[in-house]
Every structure is written in structure tokens, then in C-alpha cells.
Amino acid sequence: MVRDDSFSADERAAIYRCIAARRDVRRNFLPDPVPDAVLARVLAAGHAAPSVGFLQPWNFIVVRSAETKAALHDAFSRANAEAAEMFESERAQLYRTLKLEGLREAPLLLCITCERDRAGPVVLGRTHQSEMDIYSTVCAVQNIWLAARAENLGVGWVSILDLADLRRILAIPDHIVPIALLCVGYVDGFAATPDLERAGWRQRLPLEELVFAERFGAREKAGT
Ligand SMILES: Cc1cc2c(cc1C)N(C[C@H](O)[C@H](O)[C@H](O)COP(=O)(O)O)c1[nH]c(=O)[nH]c(=O)c1N2
């Protein structure tokens, strides 16, 4: 059934292409600035995300200062050295070859935060699952990621940082939870597959192995 608010076949194809062509991008950022109008659209996409009880718990910190980027990069370097030690020897060797951030190269960074008490302690939908405000903020991050891809902007999520460092560098108060730090900028191209897949770190799992029927672990019977 086609109604006025239905997606056309072309629109549908564009959405699926955006989902498939989104990548985590940490290298090859171009120095070109991100126009304010483009950034505004991307942030509006984040703000259009679903949120528990319509809490909209997010804030978006836009970082352009080279000094702040350098401080974040220092924090990354400290955490990354610790991280490398956590893997077994061969894995650690491969880990050290990976480029896991683009904090200094990206023209801008976005930190997305969650204010858990934005509407008081009792929130519709969070009464029995307390993490729902956090998950809502992650929905905003994903909207940003996809909107950025549609704008031909690369986005890389950098989580190899101590939260205390992130809080200190960006002056995030105690009652606000940092959720994501994203490197954002135009790039000279998007890889067809995840960097980690091409580096031999991990492969994409077959979808059919992840889908259960009726109960966790139960496979659809062949021929049904
Ligand atoms: C919550 C979270 C946190 C991180 C990531 C992702 C997500 C969802 N990813 C990116 C991750 O490695 C990447 O998404 C997968 O490898 C799949 O690649 P594509 O995103 O499909 O390109 C990521 N990558 C990286 O190089 N450094 C990092 O710190 C992180 N952190």
C-alpha cells in the first residue's frame, strides 16, 4: 500500500545504502571545514532520535580547538598504551598496528553526553530498566553517524579514553555522563568494509547464525 508518507523505492534504496556505506572513519580526513549548515543538519538528526519518555537527555559538545584535540589525543595515547597490554602477544602486536582514532586530524570532534536526571528521577519507560536514557543517547549517536554519512562526512567513535580525562578536558560535570566522542570531517573516500575486518581483527558474523526463532538459541527449522 502506498500512502503519502510511504517511502518510494528510491528513498528506501538510499536509506539502505546509507546504512551499508556508513563506516567508522579514523584516517584520511581532509582539512576542509564542515559548514555550519551541514553540522546543524547532522545535529538535528541526532536530536530527532527516539528517547525514553521523550527525555532527550543529550547534549552535543562541538570541539574545534587544536589545543583541546591535542589534550584528548594525549588521553587516548595513555589509554591506548594500557589497552595494548591487555591483549595476548600476537593480538597485541596487531593491535599496535591499528589506527584507532583521528582526534587531531578531524576538523571537528563531537562529544555526546547524557543528562540522566533531566526530568527528575521517575521517567516513563525507565522505571524498570535504568539504562534506557543511556541507550536513548546512543540512538542519537547512530542518527548522527548515518546523517553524517549522507552528508559524505566521515565519523569515527573513539572510546579508548579514560572517562575521567574526557570529563576534565571537556569540563563535563559529574551528573552528566559522556557517551561518545566522535571525530567528524570530510574524507577522501569510504572503505567498502570495516577497517578491523580488512586488518584481520574480526570478520562480520553470518546474520543467519544470529537470528533465533521464538526462544533464545533456537534455530528456525529448515524448510519453514
Ligand atoms: C560504541 C563504539 C565504540 C567504538 C567503536 C564503535 C562503537 C559502536 N569503534 C568502531 C568500530 O571498530 C567499528 O564500528 C567496527 O569495526 C565496524 O566497522 P564500521 O563501523 O562498520 O566501519 C571504534 N573504533 C576505533 O578505532 N576506536 C574506538 O575507540 C572505537 N570505539
Q: How far apart are the first and last CA of the chain?
A: 26
Please choose from 95, 159, 163 the residue to mutate so as to test ligand 1's pocket, defined by most ligand atoms within 8 A of CB. Answer: 159
CA distance linking residue 164 with residue 161, whole number of Å: 8
Phi, psi for residue 34 in degrees, rounded to 5: -90, 115
Which of ligand 1's atoms lies nearest the C-alpha of 100? 26
Amino acid, single-letter form, for residue 85: E
Q: Give the model's pLDDT for residue 223.
A: 61
**Which residue from 142, 163, 171, 155 is spatially nearest to 61, judged by alpha carbons?**
171
Please choose from 17, 19, 23, 24 the residue to mutate so as to test ligand 1's pocket, defined by most ligand atoms within 8 A of CB. Answer: 24
Phi, psi for residue 135 in degrees, rounded to 5: -60, -35
Grouped pLDDT means (10 residues each) for the chain, 224 residues: 88 98 96 97 99 98 98 98 96 97 97 97 96 98 98 98 98 98 97 97 97 94 65
CA distance linking residue 156 with residue 126, whole number of Å: 29
Q: Give the model's pLDDT for residue 59.
A: 98
Q: Please list every protein residue whose CB sits less than 6 Å from any atom of ligand 1.
A: 23-24, 26, 100, 157-160, 194, 196
CA distance linking residue 115 with residue 41, whole number of Å: 22
**Which numeric CATH code is attached to 24-199?**
3.40.109.10
List the domain boundaries for the chain.
24-199
Phi, psi for residue 16 in degrees, rounded to 5: -65, -35
CA distance linking residue 179 with residue 76, whole number of Å: 15
Question: Kind and range of the H or E element at 25?
Answer: none
How far does the centroid of ligand 1 lie from the alpha carbon of residue 2, in Å? Answer: 37
Grouping H, G, I as helix, E, B as strand and the rest as coil, residue 70 is: helix
Residue appearing with cell numbers 528517547 = 51
Is residue 148 within 8 Å of residue 66, measured between CB atoms?
Answer: no
ipTM summary value? 0.99
Q: Give the model's pLDDT for residue 3.
A: 81
Q: Give the model's pLDDT for residue 8.
A: 96
Q: Strand 108-115: give its sheet, edge to edge.
A: 58-63, 108-115, 176-186, 153-157
